[in-house]
Structure 1
Amino acid sequence: MKKRYHNSRPRTPEVCPVCGEDVTPGAIACRGCGADHRTGWNLAASDYAGLDLPGDEFDYDEFMRREFGQRSKLAFGGLHPLWWLTAVILLIAMGIALLR
């Protein structure tokens, strides 16, 4: 005699108890917030504690300095002089082309 395995997944609710979005019958997760049968369709589904996201004390400027160092002293307005030179040459070429 073969054993029958029962689906242990809880029944899909009609409305997500976390965000209130309508849930498609038979769906395995809410399209609105991602709550699913593994989280038990509960409020813990929106808990991001395990993602290791930066907290309120996160300093973006300090992060940029630490990751990318100081800006180049050659930069003019955030662009390297080579880009400025390229832009000037292109503008001159376009001006010449328009005058012909």
Structure 2
Amino acid sequence: MANNSPALTGNSQPQHQAAAAVTQQQQQCGGGGGATKPAVSGKQGNVLPLWGNEKTMNLNPMILTNILSSPYFKVQLYELKTYHEVVDEIYFKD
């Protein structure tokens, strides 16, 4: 694995500018898979970037297909709308 630090490559560009350039390149090329979305709360300082495909959730296609086609997901889990309902389903499952 190559170390591309500015000291070794002779590049004096600050790290945050280099990271912004990489992000911009990924967005132009369609890479990166996700977009940065602001947090739901009013705190703009605590923004978490989302990475990956929002539809496939970076799951293997075969696993995703099996989950989505399972009767348990279609009947019971599909009715749950919040994260807390899913956690309760896991915690209180008989």
TM-score band, normalised by the shorter chain? under 0.3
TM-score by length of 2: 0.25
Structure possessing the higher radius of gyration over alpha carbons: 1
Q: Which structure dedicates a bigger proportion of its chain to helix? A: 2
Q: What's the TM-score once normalised by structure 1's chain length? A: 0.24
